[in-house]
Each structure stands twice: as C-alpha cells, then as structure tokens.
Amino acid sequence: MSIHEVARRAKVSIATVSRTINGVSTVTPQLSRRVWRVIEELGYYPNTQARSLVSGRSRIFGLIVSEITNPFFPEIIQGFEDIAVQNNYEILTTSTVHDPKRIALSVRRMIERRVEGVAIVTFGMEEALFDDLKTRKIPLVFIDVGPPLPRISNIRIDYQHGIREAVQHLAALCHERIAFISGPLILKSAMARQRAFIESMEEIGLAVDPNHLIEGDHTMEGGIKALKKILQFPKRPTAVICSNDMTAIGVMRQSYEEGVHIPRDLSLIGFDDIRLAQFMIPPLTSVKMSQTEIARMAFNALLSEVQRDIPSPDGTEYVLRTSLALRDSTAMAPAGARKKVAILKKSAD
C-alpha cells in the first residue's frame, strides 16, 4: 500500500515510482508503463501527508466564513471548492459563528495543517485574530477589510454602484421616505453599505431621516425586529433597503404578520441576491453581489500569490461590482406619500 510495495512489484526503485507518478520526463516509457500497471492493479494512492511533508507544499487552502448556515456562504464555499478541485487543492472550511475563540482555534488548526493560504470571508471581524497568519507570512485574502501588507490581497466590493441603483430605482417610483436596515455597525462592510446608502440618497437630494437608519444584525430575526420598529414611526417609510437578504426575508415575514402588503404598502430591496431571493413571495428585488465571483477572485488571489516567487509588496486589489436585480418586491409609492413627480420610467423587468 506504500510506494515501496509498488516499487517491489514493478521491480524498480521507489525513486522511479515517484518520478513516474509525477510525470518526470526522464523515465523510460517502458518502465513507466510497468509502474503504472502495478499502480492500477494495486489501487495505490500516494500519501499526501508524506508528499507535502517533503515537498513543503500542502496543497490546502483555508476558507473561513462567518456562518455556514447563512445561505449567502454555501454558494461561496461551493464556488471555492469547484475551482479548488480543478487546481488540485484541498480546502479546509471553518465557520466561525461569530465567536472569536472559534476563529482563533480555526486559525491555529489551519497553521498546524500548514495551509498555503487562507480566504477570510467574514466581512470584517476582529482583524487581530489573524495576526498569527500574517506573522507566518501565509498569503491571505480578505473581503473589503484587509490591510495593505505584503501577501495580503483584497476583494473590494463596490457597494456604491448597486446601492445607488437601488435608491434611484425607489426614487423613480416616487419613494422619498426610505429606511435602511444595516448590519451590525462594528462590521466595516455593514458600515460601508450604510454609507453608500446615505451618499446615494444625498446625491439625488433626498433627506435621510436618522431614525430611518436602523441597525440590524444580518439575520431574519433582526429584520423582524427592525420592521416592528419601523411600523411604529408616525411617518412611516414607504420603502426599505436591507443590508442583506436575510434581513429582508425577516422583514417580509413580519410584514405578513402585520398585514403590510409588499410591495403595495411597502417596497423592499435586499442585498446579496442569494438564490433564495427569487423564491420569496413576492420575489425579492436585491442588489446582486455575485458569490461565485467572490469565490473565484478569492481563490485566484491566493493561487497567484502562492505561485509568485517574490510576494506582492502591498497585496493585490480586486474589485467586485454590485448591481440591482429587479424583481417584484418594489412598486410605486402609495399615492398619499408622493410629493414629487420626478417619475422616471421603471426599466422593463
């Protein structure tokens, strides 16, 4: 079951077996065939541990996500795995469930397994937790929040683009009182989304009522709570933009409870555009941030860093566009709430 057994049966040295497996050209076709025959016959699979021990390359990438049970992440994991297998990489996934201890532990596990790089898709958790990886000079890729350091790449998300589309879409439907349910504001990415919202509003001269900026937590429960709050305002917003789709789903859920009809009484826009969004009732308009694209960029960032001979001095920047995916959760603002008549034509569905 080891290379020695193969060597013995093929009557060659273990070096020749190794060379055969790795396709080193100096081995005679005749011997190569003999070796391969034995390998097949024995069903021999090389021991990766031994391989990477001597070669110094584990062919493993780590992938840290914040919550695998949040439907946003499985798509990323799937995408990452797809590219990984194509490139003969293994992937070690850990879900932090927002627990610093868990993060620290998973960082440690990854170092012990000698991963060649780690993709950190947590949208801005405590950065210090990854110091161990940095000092060990392991290539990293962050979403949004990575510091400009050697070997550290970043996927910058262009939140502004998609959120501006969302705001302008609502404005075109005569909405003026638009609320924004953010994620936890300790997260840099949540902050960035909120800022993009505010800027987009101001850009077209719409006032942002500070009361209409509600801090959620990127969960359905958070969306439920936020909507309850919103419905208590004397002058209700006529539209809500959420910092992620799970929040929006919570909002839908609670709207149903409270008899608020979407989109008649309230227009709703999510963020992320998870697959589920299109199966909501009604199908949820959402700002698309392609999970597959994130996975692809993250993997390529790591791979190219690993293949470099000298590390990139200040990391590499990747940029991901976001854009609005129009569905059925938005409609004209209720007549009573309209003032302006700056109606643009709603783009065809």
Does 71 sit near DNA (CB under 7 A)? no
Contacts with DNA by CB under 7 A: the residue count is: 29
CA dist 64 and 16 (Å) reads: 39
**With the CA atoms of 123, 125, 149 and 133 taken in that order, what torsion angle do they form, in degrees rounded to the nearest 10?**
-120
Q: Which two tokens stand for residue 299?
A: 């993997």
CA dist 281 and 52 (Å) reads: 50
Instruction: Report the relative pairing of strands 117-121 and 140-143 from DSSP bridges.
Output: parallel
Q: Minimum distance between the CB of residue 71 and DNA, rounded to whole angstroms?
A: 39
Q: Please give the residues from 136 up to 175 whose contact with its own copies meets the rule CB under 8 A.
A: none
Contacted entry of DNA, its own copies, none for residue 4, CB cut-off 5 to 8 Å set by kind:
DNA
Does 50 sit near DNA (CB under 7 A)? yes
CA dist 190 and 145 (Å) reads: 11
**With the CA atoms of 253, 257, 262 and 268 taken in that order, what torsion angle do they form, in degrees rounded to the nearest 10?**
-40
Does 233 sit near its own copies (CB under 8 A)? no
DSSP state, residue 153: E
CA dist 327 and 245 (Å) reads: 13
Instruction: Name beta bridge partners: 117.
Output: 61
Q: Please give the residues from 10 up to 29 whose contact with DNA meets the rule CB under 7 A.
A: 11-19, 21-22, 26-28
Dihedral sign of CA atoms 108, 109, 113, 119 in order: negative
* Residue choice 8, 51, 134, 229 for contact with DNA (CB under 7 A): 51
Does 40 sit near its own copies (CB under 8 A)? no
Stretch that binds its own copies, among 19-27, 32-40, 107-115, 117-125 (CB under 8 A): 107-115
* Residue choice 33, 37, 42, 47 for contact with DNA (CB under 7 A): 47
Does 204 sit near its own copies (CB under 8 A)? no
If you search the block for the tokens 């826009």, which residue do you land on? 269
Stretch that binds its own copies, among 279-287, 296-304, 314-322, 338-346 (CB under 8 A): 279-287
Q: Minimum distance between the CB of residue 41 and DNA, rounded to whole angstroms?
A: 15
Q: Minimum distance between the CB of residue 43 and DNA, rounded to whole angstroms?
A: 12
Q: Minimum distance between the CB of residue 277 and its own copies, rounded to whole angstroms?
A: 12
Q: Are 156 and 117 in contact (CB under 8 A)?
A: no
Kindly list the strands in the beta sheet with 323-325, ordered across the sheet, starting from the edge strand earlier in the chain: 213-215, 178-182, 239-242, 267-272, 285-288, 323-325
* Residue choice 253, 300, 306, 334 for contact with its own copies (CB under 8 A): 253
Query: Would you tell me which residues interact with its own copies (CB under 8 A)?
Result: 43, 45-50, 52-53, 58, 68-69, 71, 73-75, 77-78, 81, 85, 90, 92-95, 97, 102, 105-106, 108-109, 111-114, 132, 135, 220, 249-250, 252-253, 256, 275-276, 279-282
Query: Would you tell me which residues interact with DNA (CB under 7 A)?
Result: 1-4, 11-19, 21-22, 26-28, 30-31, 44, 46-47, 50-51, 53-56
